[in-house]
Amino acid sequence: MTYVDDGLDEFFGRTRSARPNGDRKASVKGPDRAVSPSPKSARKTTRSTDRQERAPRTVTSRPARLDRAGREVTRPASPVTPPRRSDGAAVRNASAQRSARPAASRSRRRMAPVAVPDGATSRRQTVRRLIWLVVVTVAAAAAVAARLTYTNLAEGTEWRTKGIDQRDGLQEVPAGRGAIFDRRGQPFALSVARPDVVADPSIIEDPLATARTLAPVLDIPVEEIAAKLKGDGRYALVAETVSDATAEKITAIRKAEDKAAKTRGERARTLAGIAFDYRFVRYYPAGGLASAVVGRTVADGGVDDTGHEGLSGIERQFERDLTGEPGRVIYERDASGRPIAGGERQVEPGKPGTDVYLTLDQSLQYESERAITRQVEATGAAAGMVTIMRPSTGEILAMASVASDEDGKAHNTRDNRPVTAVFEPGSVNKVITIAGAIEEGLVEPDTVLDVPDHLQIYDKTFRDHDPHPVRAWSVTDILVTSSNIGTIKLARQLGRENVDRYLRDFGLGQNTQLGFPYEEDGIMLPLEDWSGTSIGAIPIGQGIAVTALQMLSAYNVIANDGVYVPPRLVAATDDGTGRVDTPAAAQRRVVSADTARAVQEMLEKVVTEGTGKRARVPDYPAAGKTGTARIPQGVDASDGYRGADGRYHYQATFLGFISGADLSILVTLEDPQTSTYGGEVAAPVFSQLAAVALLRTQTPPPALLERSESAVPELSSTARSSRDEDAGTVTSTTTG
């Protein structure tokens, strides 16, 4: 009999039809009955039906047996003894029997029906999945390509550099520092290669034996050397910058050991691992000569001769030019960073530093330092300075600065004080006021003024050095006798504005543009800050502060026929391609040539007949001015010039030039003890140095030309009788 399993229809949610062609394996037709399939056949039938979209399954069964009364006869179940099979077959048979239970029973245990997509829906889902797969794949490929492009373009150089850095080693080869010479090519500073004695402790077999060999040569204790040779590293500095002679001794010992070892058929061991590492050091052939001008270098935080960075002076000012550009050695290295033997090497030579030629003359520098040192020690002064120049070019031929120690011995200062220290000029400043008055046409050298010995301006009384009655003195007399009152009267005629203008035109209170490190500008009050007494103090050199270089440059205006020429310290440079002269700075006219020549003659009379007689130079017309100024102490509020010891301290100066010889000199001493007058302690040094400079420059005496009409009158009798002392800067304050 055939029937449709309604339980399966309920599970799949649709009606199934009988298999169209029947199932030969599912039923075996006989004349009266259908044969039920075996469990294995039933399982295959079920799988086949599921694959054929769950078509209705036809199930056949054996008809029931009835008794005579028409009732169904139930036969007791008898055990079925399966045939002998292998264990695997038995398991499959048991599984088939378990799965061959009636369909109705199976349907009751099925889960709820699940919607199964039809063919079209499945194809659409597959297409969507493929599209998403393609999109994701393309996006991932694009991201990778973008990253590769960015890395190659934006970071390519960086990564290539990293790769090269890992492969290539770099060793910097320092370039020699440029040299510093004087005007004649004599060296002040040089860079020389000096050897360091170094060691590789890893290959030294007997540190103690090596130390014993090196100790007498290096003059270093054996224990100290042995301690360095026992280190764990591969580099040890045994001795720094030894002399060439010491290096030659070590080399000779090593050669002797090598020769002896070869004779014995052995390997030299005592100095194995000892080598030389050369480096440039700074060497000063002239010693401490002009040390404040040339400067020094610094290394490892301290001042020494092995540094390569300018600390002061020209070494600092021209640091960038002197240093140069170091060279490089690029070599292949292994994973440990060691050079590969036979590997590629690329050498890039460095560029040595630029050489600098100064305007200084070593011989004049030496004479200047010696002369000022002797005078400072002889007078008990605290310090002293000398500056020598060529007025026509502004070239500085010498700059010396010394200071006394506690024992009274003078030594060169570290700072170049003619440029970095300021002082009140005192009477040497009077020349500017007198030149301005002549230039403005207010007076002539022979103009006569009534000059008392004192003058009160507001609450301050100004005095000449010596008391005297009112004198009828010419302008020349006023300058020769260094009269404070006469100079103040000329300044009042000239006016505050003109006094201030001429002081600045002569170069006071402003930087000389020399470019020297730490150069001082000086101190000059703005005109609007002048007090009522400034017109009396400033013209005679009080209330302002100048450097020695500023003051000498101002006198060069007079020596140079009224033209200001800025000072020069560097004559030329040479970067290896040839010497190039330093261009001269712009000049400017300050006063006319007639005014300058008139003042020149007046200054000559200061030397021949006035306070500067000790500055005379045989056969040469010396001209100059003495000056004595109090040094501000800042201790006593009522009197800023009085020191803690209750006394005044003075700056004694002589400043002048040799007419027609293109030579000017300034000498100043700080707080001399033997005399406070510039004419007595500074003028003699001027005379001595002028004679040496004239001989050094081979300047012949100028022809003594007769002046048909001299613009400078003879001194009056009262001026001649005046004491041969500098009237200086003495002032006093009145009360009430």
Would you name the residues annotated as active-site residues? Answer: 427
DSSP character for 312?
S
CB 6 within 8 A of CB 106: no
Strands (DSSP E) contained in 359-446 are 383-389, 396-404, 410-412
Where b means 16+ CB within 10 Å and e means fewer, 123-159 reads eeeeeeeeeeeeeeeeeeeeeeeeeeeeeeeeeeeee
Cα gap 457→454, rounded to integer Å: 10
Dig out the tokens for 510 from the structure: 């402003």
Q: Give 131-138's long-range contacts (Cβ < 8 A, gap of 24+).
A: none
Dig out the tokens for 615 from the structure: 């500055």
CB 678 within 8 A of CB 652: yes
The secondary structure element, H or E, covering residue 551 is helix 548-559
Cα gap 679→626, rounded to integer Å: 5
* Residue tagged 């295959």 (tokens): 44
Q: Which residues contact 526 (CB under 8 A, 6 or more apart)?
A: none
Dig out the tokens for 605 from the structure: 């009379």
What 3-state DSSP class applies to 441? Answer: coil
Angle at 703 between CA 444 and CA 707, to 5 degrees: 30
Cα gap 599→94, rounded to integer Å: 143
CB 234 within 8 A of CB 201: yes
Cα gap 307→373, rounded to integer Å: 29
Dig out the tokens for 415 from the structure: 């700072």
Residue 455 φ/ψ, nearest 5 degrees: -155, 130
CB 544 within 8 A of CB 425: yes
CB 726 within 8 A of CB 627: yes
Dig out the tokens for 379 from the structure: 């007078």
Strands (DSSP E) contained in 284-408 are 297-299, 302-303, 309-310, 327-332, 345-348, 355-358, 383-389, 396-404
The secondary structure element, H or E, covering residue 282 is strand 274-283
* Residue tagged 């030894």 (tokens): 242
